[in-house]
Amino acid sequence: MRGRPLLYTSYASDMGLFNTGAKKAAFAVLMALGLTTPFLLADVELQLLALACATAIGAIGLNLVTGYAGQVSLGHAFFIAVGAYTAAAISGDPESRTLGFGIDNMLIWLPAAGIAAGLAGVIVAPLATRLRGLYLAIVTLGLVFVGEYILTEWDALTGGPGIGRQAASPALFGYHLDETDVFMTRDQKLYLLMFTLLVVFGLAGRNLARSRVGRAFSAIRDRDIAAGVIGVNLPRYKTIAFAVSSFFAGIAGALIYTISGRFDPGQFGLLLSVQFIAMILIGGAGTITGAVLGAFFLTLLPRFTRELPGLVPFIGGQATDTPNVFQLETVLYGVLIIIFLIFEPRGLFGIWVRIRNYWKAWPFSY
């Protein structure tokens, strides 16, 4: 079938992970770019990119439940918190004032964080099977408040609000991935770790989405009654959606805070959930690439706004000026969500699709 890249002769090749040559090539280029980045960029940027990679894993998780399966969840911050605290407790120093078991091998604490959050997701899932739409959103919203209360009160685990605790420390069989050594700096290692994990979880998410489970998710999203009628087991697939999404959130929670090294319970409020919703809306709901794009976009955005006073003269760099860069940073999230919902509902991924189609037909684009 040479020369006819879009002609498929079997379902397997149609549904393949990389079903076109262009996708294979693009993936190879992105991998090469991702792996050479730590030797090109400075540590500050690498740390930010590492954060974006870890955040992207969480965004993929939310996109699986909200974008693919259509179950609006505002409770993502809660699952991220479960993952973050499970990992921090397992890897924490037993001598410190907060709960810790001193197991810093990340092959143990990372899956544990995912599983703990996944179990929390399974517990919540029965709600999702009974409710939908706005009602589900409100119930998952309640989850965030309950979680916030527990974390605020449970000082032995969280260190207490306003004080916080050390995050999990990534190590593989005694080799610390968060310490500078002769081979690489801390930020280079963390970036490579997060990038590798993003590739692993991104592929896992995409695999799930293109499988039988993913098709069931889409059927539920498009019309749950119709999905039930054609034989999709609604409670089962909604449970799977919540469990997998929470698993991703747990992994992301465990990883995000290893980068800054410290976190306190005040961080897991509604705002965090809203930020993740913003990521998938701006990136593109219902696509893995979109979630990754959105996570990168929103993580890197504050960095770019902070550079603005040097480029745009009327934006002040001092807190007493109006308008100043700090105000801009604050309102930009909201403005972007509105702009994207009105002008590009398919998000950054939609823009990418349009660009792709333009070049596919070039020079006969119209």
Partner 1 sequence: MKRLGTITTVTVLVLSGALAGCRGADNNTGGGGSAAAVPGVTSEPCPQAVDKTKGCIYLGTISDLTEGPFKALAVPITESQKAFWARVNKNGGIGKYEVDVTTYVKDNKYKADVHNQVYQEIKGKVLALAQTLGSPTTAAIIDDLRKEKIVAVPASWTSAWAFQDVILESGANYCVESMNAMDYAKEKYSPTSVMAVHYPGDYGADAAAGVKYAAEKLGMKFTAVQTGTGAETQAAAIQAILTQKPSLVIVTTGPAETAAIVGGTAARGFTGRFIGTSPTWNPGLITSPAKDALIGLYEQSAPWNSWATDSPGHKAMREALSSIDVPNDGYTAGWVWSYPLKAALQKAVEANQLTRDGLLNAAKSLTTVDYEGMLPSGAGNYAGGADGGQFRMTAIYKPDAAGPTKVSQVKDLFVGPTAKDFKLTQPCFQSL
Judged by the rule CB under 8 A, the positions of this chain that interact with partner 1 are 39-44, 47-48, 51, 97, 152, 155, 160-164, 180, 185, 256-257, 260-264, 266-267, 302-303, 306, 317-320, 326-327, 329-330, 351, 354-355, 358-359, 362, 365-366
Nearest to partner 1 of 314, 366 (CB atom): 366
Taking the C-alpha atoms of residue 135 and residue 128, their distance in angstroms, rounded to an integer, is: 9
Q: In the bound complex, what is the minimum distance in angstroms from residue 264's beta carbon to partner 1?
A: 5
Shortest gap between Cβ of 323 and partner 1 (angstroms)? 11
Q: What is the CA radius of gyration of the chain?
A: 21
CA angle centred on 254, ends 251 and 255, rounded to 5°: 90
Which CB, 41 or 137, lies closer to partner 1? Answer: 41
Spatial neighbors of 366 by CB under 8 A, at least 6 apart, are none
235 sits in which H/E element: helix 234-260
Cβ at position 161, least distance to partner 1 in Å: 5
**How many Å separate Cα 100 from the centre of its chain?**
26
Buried residues in 256-270 as b, exposed as e (16+ CB within 10 A)? bbbbeeebbbebbbe
Q: Residue 76 and residue 273: Cα distance in Å, rounded?
A: 5
Looking at beta carbons only, is 64 or 256 nearer to partner 1? 256
Query: Hey, how many other C-beta atoms are within 10 angstroms of the C-beta on 178?
Result: 18
Q: Which is nearer to partner 1, 104 or 224 (CB)?
A: 104
> Between residues 175 and 359, which has the closer beta carbon with respect to partner 1?
359
Which residue lies nearer to partner 1 by CB, 105 or 327?
327
Return the bridge partners of 165, or none.
Answer: 263
Q: Min. distance of Cβ 33 from partner 1 in angstroms?
A: 9
State the minimum distance, in angstroms, from the CB of residue 229 to partner 1. Answer: 41
Least distance (Å) from partner 1 to the CB of residue 197?
A: 19
- Token look-up 């959103």 returns 137
